[in-house]
Chain A
Amino acid sequence: MMKPTDGTIVLDGRMVPIGDHVNLLDLIRAGGIDLPTFCYHSDLSVYGACRLCIVEVEGRGIVTSCTTRPEPGMVVSTRSARLRDIRKLTAELLLANHDMSCPTCTRAGSCQLRRLAERLGIDRIRFRQRQERLPLDQSSISLIRDPNKCVLCGDCVRICREVQGIGVLDFANRGSKVQVTPAFGQGLGEVECVHCGQCASVCPTGALAVRSQVNEVWAAIHDPERIVVAQVAPAVRVGVGEAFGLPPGESHIGQTVAALRAMGFDRVYDTGFGADLTVLEEGTEFVRRYRARKDLPLFTSCCPAWVKLVEQWYPQLLNNLSTCRSPQQALGRLIKRELPREMGVAPEKIFMVSIMPCTAKKFEARRSEMVTDGRPDVDAVITVPELVQMIAESGLDFAGLEPDRMDLPYGFKTGAGVLFGTTGGVTEAVLRYAAEVMAKPLGRPPAFHKVRGMERLREAEVELGDDKLRLAVVHGLAAAQQLVEDVLAGKREYDLVEVMACPGGCVGGAGQPPARTPSVREARQASIYQTDTMLQMRNSQDNPYLQRVYADTLGEPGSPAAHELLHTHYHPRRRTGAVEVEISGGADPSHRVVRVEVCVGTNCHLRGSHDLLHRLIDHVNERGWGHLVDITATFCNEVCERGPAVRIDDELHEKCTLEMVLDRVEGAIGAEEAPVATSR
């Protein structure tokens, strides 16, 4: 009999050193045994809900390994008749609660539940299926929620709360009625969801899935009148191969282009060209702001999930967001303007498809600001799994395709453009441009490696000539919110802050094949850096086709023409549909009543709207206006930066004081009451 020594456990009869593992599950997996799990993610808190990682510990019986701390001398067994029975039973119970519509499920290929059933050899389910079918939530432009497929692992709840700091989803009800849902059973498209899609990325089944736009794309391809143009985002090339069983991180841009052409795309361009445009515009904007010391820090705005978060929670920072369009939208706009001229076709013939590692890009493309002359700048956005499905549907052997190159001019990108695919990449790309503007011209680009890496928040100081720039790079929206709070509280000061919503940036986007471990994201990131190194041109400003666009039509970066084409604007956005709290329903119906709606949303609240509301009620009482005024508390009139906002009848008043509101109310009453007033 082996004797366990300090710092080791006995795992299935072998001695295994504990090392720095904090839970038994990690240690067992490091020991080469892949216990199944649904609810365990190294990025998230430990939950212990799925009961699949059970093991037997001598003296303790059966425990979940994810919630058990390894202790020296522990004797652990991962296999026994009992464990096998319990695991199979658990899997059967999960399956009995699942609608098993596998053939029509978009996640069938990457479904963990299906894989589990296969692994455990489940050949029958001894329990009756749940009868009641719950409705699908199709309210979101980017995601579809199917509660019938949910196994209640809570991964989506935790990633939204812990990694993104939002908490759109949570458990509701209890017992057999438990559901994961947004507040009040609302749809994902009606609440504060920022469309990052990380919930779908961690979902082990198809309960949260990406809304497919493949049909729209095929329809355009099969329409002989249409010219279908693809733009491929930088991070797509390092993710797509995984879906075909190729090693994580390998770049397969050549095969991707070949597949797109084979499927009938008329032009294939690189979103990296759009990124180069963004670099020049955002870089110019940054240098101007930096020199004027105005609206700093400059926050990047390439990530639409981050932009929506700012619009909903931090309207006071809207002026700090770069006004520059994201690469997707910059390129979409440019191509829709230039290509019809170049090809001599009507603009409405062009159908722009972007292939993105991102679900929020679907939302971005539908923003009202992203429509020119009634036509969207980008017509459809598909994610990597959607592209993969199209390739599979076409019967193409992806790995065996003869690699092809992108079309000129918009298929030409620099290393800086490709860097946009990873956290830290936008900063590095902008620095390469700013360095040339602010300091001496560059030969080989200096490596701004300080901003590279995978830590959630990375800070760096970079000297350019006489200036010392203070930079921050952050990914994951919880970390971003923490940073914003610190900036607003004056605890941190920066000149430039890059924010990407997804872990690792776009390489970890929810439009990629699901990355089950951080190492997958790291491999993709490494590949992005390698692509940058291999490209002959690494600075956006050196891109000759980009230079031509400026020479021919835009003039200088930051010019009025460039602003018109490549910049946008943002607006405060309420987090949920309009809701009101009726306060004084006592108005007399025989009078015309003045309706007063005081905003009590977060920003107006911070600007004193609660106090205003209280004093307003007091004054209305004192003056005996109770029968003439209807007071309501509302949430968000979307003018947050000019709060407190009060709507009196149909007119919205900003920056309100009590005196102002009383004056206006008195005016409104006076207009109605004048003839009656004498009778008092």
Chain B
Amino acid sequence: MGCACIDARSTQTRQFLKVNEILQRFDRNPRRLIAILQAVQDEYRYLPEPVLNYLATSLGIPRARVYGVVTFYAHFSLQPKGKYIIRICDGTACHVNNSQALLDLVRDKLGIDEEKPTSEDMLFTLERVSCIGACGLAPVAVVADRVYGQLGVQKLGEVLEEMVRAEKERRT
């Protein structure tokens, strides 16, 4: 039998240790709650309820307050998100430049909808956002932290296909 380290096998362990590291880094200061939540979400790709309970206990703030903050900001998610986030801007400028077609394409391609914005394989999550401040480039999308301006349906389709292919290669 090879190495039986927990670390090597389980992202859960790494994540949990990371939460403690994050708490430490922010001095367990309840006033840094949002920053802590951001860091934790970067780790888990969402905010699992038990982890939020753990944060509330560690920071000495009511669980309901933590829940309130998490549900206030669209950035935070209580549902697992995909590995890659696709943010399609649907602000006024993008909307009039047919951002709807981009949304339709992604939903169609990935078999997702408004209720269920994450693909079955946990690879992609679609978010409709209201203005990312790049109206001059409308319609705009941010795919895996890369901004694409004046984006057409065809180009977006290519980007997605390329990502799926790269991901397959990585796995094999």
Interface of A toward B, CB cutoff 8 Å: 161, 166-174, 181-184, 191-192, 576, 579-586, 600-602, 605, 610, 614, 617, 620-621, 624-629, 631, 633, 635
In the complex, B64 has a CB within 8 A of chain A: yes
CB distance from B96 to the nearest CB of A (A): 23
In the complex, B107 has a CB within 8 A of chain A: no
Q: Which residues of B contact A168 (CB under 8 A)?
A: 62, 64
Given A580-B50, A584-B10, A610-B20; A181-B64 close (CB under 8 Å) = yes
In the bound assembly, the distance between CA atoms of A171 and B71 in angstroms comes to 9
Q: Which residues of A contact B71 (CB under 8 A)?
A: 172-174
Contact status B10-A583, CB under 8 Å:
yes
CB distance from B121 to the nearest CB of A (A): 19
Residues facing A in B1-15 (CB within 8 A) are: 1, 3-10, 12-13
Q: Which residues of A contact B64 (CB under 8 A)?
A: 167-170, 172, 181-183, 191
Q: Can you give 16 A-B contacts (C-beta < 8 A)?
A: A169-B64, A170-B65, A172-B71, A181-B64, A183-B56, A183-B62, A184-B78, A192-B63, A580-B50, A581-B12, A581-B50, A581-B51, A585-B10, A617-B6, A620-B6, A626-B3
Q: Which residues of A contact B68 (CB under 8 A)?
A: 170-172
Contact status A621-B67, CB under 8 Å:
no
Q: Which residues of A contact B4 (CB under 8 A)?
A: 624-628
CB distance from A665 to the nearest CB of B (A): 13
In the bound assembly, the distance between CA atoms of A627 and B4 in angstroms comes to 6
Contact status A579-B49, CB under 8 Å:
yes
Instruction: Please list the 4 inter-chain residue pairs (A to B) with the smallest Cβ-Cβ separation, ordered nearest first.
Output: A167-B62, A586-B9, A183-B63, A170-B64
Among B16, B56, B63, point to the contact of A581 (Cβ < 8 A): B16
Contact status B9-A626, CB under 8 Å:
yes
CB distance from B114 to the nearest CB of A (A): 14
Among A182, A600, A625, point to the contact of B57 (Cβ < 8 A): A600
In the complex, B119 has a CB within 8 A of chain A: no
Interface of B toward A, CB cutoff 8 Å: 1, 3-10, 12-13, 16-17, 20, 48-54, 56-58, 61-68, 71-72, 78
Q: Which residues of A contact B50 (CB under 8 A)?
A: 579-581, 633, 635
Q: Which residues of B contact A635 (CB under 8 A)?
A: 50, 53-54, 57
Q: Which residue of B lies closest to A173 (CB)?
A: B71
Q: Which residues of A contact B12 (CB under 8 A)?
A: 581-586
Q: Which residues of B contact A576 (CB under 8 A)?
A: 53, 63
In the bound assembly, the distance between CA atoms of A624 and B4 in angstroms comes to 5
Given A581-B50, A605-B57; A172-B6 close (CB under 8 Å) = no
In the bound assembly, the distance between CA atoms of A624 and B2 in angstroms comes to 9
Contact status B6-A631, CB under 8 Å:
yes
In the bound assembly, the distance between CA atoms of A576 and B62 in angstroms comes to 12
Contact status B72-A586, CB under 8 Å:
no
Contact status B54-A600, CB under 8 Å:
yes
Contact status B1-A191, CB under 8 Å:
no
Given A172-B71, A586-B9; A614-B62 close (CB under 8 Å) = no
Given A583-B16, A625-B4; A602-B57 close (CB under 8 Å) = yes
Q: Which residues of B contact A631 (CB under 8 A)?
A: 6, 13
Q: Which residues of A contact B52 (CB under 8 A)?
A: 183-184
CB distance from B71 to the nearest CB of A (A): 4
Contact status A184-B6, CB under 8 Å:
no
Contact status B13-A184, CB under 8 Å:
no
Q: Which residues of B contact A167 (CB under 8 A)?
A: 61-62, 64-65
Given A170-B62, A183-B66; A621-B6 close (CB under 8 Å) = yes
CB distance from A244 to the nearest CB of B (A): 37
In the bound assembly, the distance between CA atoms of A608 and B28 in angstroms comes to 16
CB distance from A606 to the nearest CB of B (A): 11
Contact status B13-A614, CB under 8 Å:
no
Q: Which residue of A lies closest to B14 (CB)?
A: A583
Contact status B62-A166, CB under 8 Å:
yes
In the bound assembly, the distance between CA atoms of A626 and B62 in angstroms comes to 35
CB distance from A496 to the nearest CB of B (A): 28
In the bound assembly, the distance between CA atoms of A613 and B56 in angstroms comes to 19
CB distance from B108 to the nearest CB of A (A): 27
Contact status A583-B13, CB under 8 Å:
yes
Q: Which residues of A contact B66 (CB under 8 A)?
A: 183
CB distance from A362 to the nearest CB of B (A): 22
In the bound assembly, the distance between CA atoms of A579 and B52 in angstroms comes to 10
In the bound assembly, the distance between CA atoms of A605 and B59 in angstroms comes to 12
CB distance from A672 to the nearest CB of B (A): 14
CB distance from A152 to the nearest CB of B (A): 13
CB distance from A612 to the nearest CB of B (A): 12
Q: Which residue of A lies closest to B19 (CB)?
A: A581
In the bound assembly, the distance between CA atoms of A62 and B43 in angstroms comes to 47
Among B51, B62, B67, point to the contact of A172 (Cβ < 8 A): B67
A181-B64, A183-B66, A617-B17 provided; 15 other pairs, C-beta below 8 A? A168-B62, A170-B62, A171-B68, A172-B64, A183-B52, A183-B53, A576-B53, A581-B48, A586-B12, A614-B20, A626-B4, A626-B5, A631-B13, A635-B50, A635-B54
Q: Which residue of B lies closest to A636 (CB)?
A: B57
Given A173-B71, A184-B67; A581-B54 close (CB under 8 Å) = yes
In the bound assembly, the distance between CA atoms of A103 and B61 in angstroms comes to 39
Residue of A617, A624, A626 most packed against chain B (CB within 10 A): A626
Q: Which residues of A contact B58 (CB under 8 A)?
A: 605
In the bound assembly, the distance between CA atoms of A184 and B8 in angstroms comes to 32
Contact status A170-B6, CB under 8 Å:
no
In the bound assembly, the distance between CA atoms of A629 and B3 in angstroms comes to 14
In the bound assembly, the distance between CA atoms of A318 and B12 in angstroms comes to 36
In the bound assembly, the distance between CA atoms of A629 and B49 in angstroms comes to 24
Q: Which residues of A contact B7 (CB under 8 A)?
A: 621, 626
In the bound assembly, the distance between CA atoms of A584 and B6 in angstroms comes to 6
Q: Which residues of A contact B56 (CB under 8 A)?
A: 183
In the bound assembly, the distance between CA atoms of A184 and B52 in angstroms comes to 10
CB distance from B142 to the nearest CB of A (A): 22
In the bound assembly, the distance between CA atoms of A168 and B64 in angstroms comes to 6
In the bound assembly, the distance between CA atoms of A183 and B50 in angstroms comes to 12
CB distance from A553 to the nearest CB of B (A): 46
In the bound assembly, the distance between CA atoms of A95 and B10 in angstroms comes to 53
In the bound assembly, the distance between CA atoms of A428 and B17 in angstroms comes to 52
CB distance from B4 to the nearest CB of A (A): 4
Q: Which residue of B lies closest to A588 (CB)?
A: B4
In the bound assembly, the distance between CA atoms of A601 and B57 in angstroms comes to 7
In the bound assembly, the distance between CA atoms of A576 and B3 in angstroms comes to 38
In the bound assembly, the distance between CA atoms of A585 and B10 in angstroms comes to 6
Contact status B16-A633, CB under 8 Å:
yes
